[in-house]
Amino acid sequence: MKPFRLDKVLEYRRHQRLEARNALASAISDEQTLIEHQARINRQKGQQLSELAGFTQSEVVNVEAAARRRYFTGQLEIQLMVVAEQLAQARMVVEQMRAVLVKADQEVKALERLHEKHVEEETSLEQKRTEIELSEQWQSANWNW
């Protein structure tokens, strides 16, 4: 059987698809890390706000401690905005990587279909050759001179 003339291209496309899968996995991991970081900051902010509420409910208000809580809460709010922007960018990257993976997968599948067609054609040709050889052998064995 003749070798498939696009084997190297198919191998290269499969490698590209693998790279695209790895890039997508990395992007999803980065997104998940940002989501966890955002949740951690939200928990810290909630804790600071509950402590601040506790200060206002007591009869003796520690103004300095309350001011520190408000400042830290403001810093956490800034961090949340930064993380939200990073998360939006990470989600865009994930979508881009998904699109790249879909395209790479389509290219591999197209070449795999061509490979399958090549194998079918070669198998068919080989069967025809075998039939012709058997027919010729039978004719030569059964030929009456």
The closest of 84, 78, 77 to 46, measured between CA atoms, is 77
For tokens 């402590």, name the residue: 51
Beta-carbon contacts of 48 under 8 Å, excluding residues fewer than 6 positions away, are 69, 72, 73, 76
| Residue 86: CB atoms within 10 Å | 16
82: which 2 tokens? 């930064």
CATH annotation of 7-140: 1.10.287
| Domain residue limits, the chain | 7-140
Dihedral sign, Cα of residue 106, residue 112, residue 113, residue 118: positive
**Token match 């600071």: residue?**
48
Evaluate if residue 23 carries a pLDDT over 60: yes
Query: pLDDT at position 145, please?
Result: 56
Residue 135 in tokens: 């027919």
User: Hey, what are 72's tokens?
Assistant: 């830290």
Q: Which two tokens stand for residue 107?
A: 């290219």
Kindly indicate the confidence band of residue 123, based on its pLDDT and cuts at 50, 70 and 90: very high
Contact between 65 and 125 (Cβ < 8 Å): no
The model's pTM: 0.76
For residue range 77-109, what is the model confidence (pLDDT) as tens digits?
999 999 999 999 999 999 999 999 999 999 999
pLDDT digits (tens, 9 = 90+) for 46-75: 998 888 888 777 777 778 888 888 899 999
The answer to whether the beta carbons of residues 31 and 94 sit under 8 Å apart is yes
Q: Cα(106)–Cα(129) distance, rounded to whole angstroms? A: 35
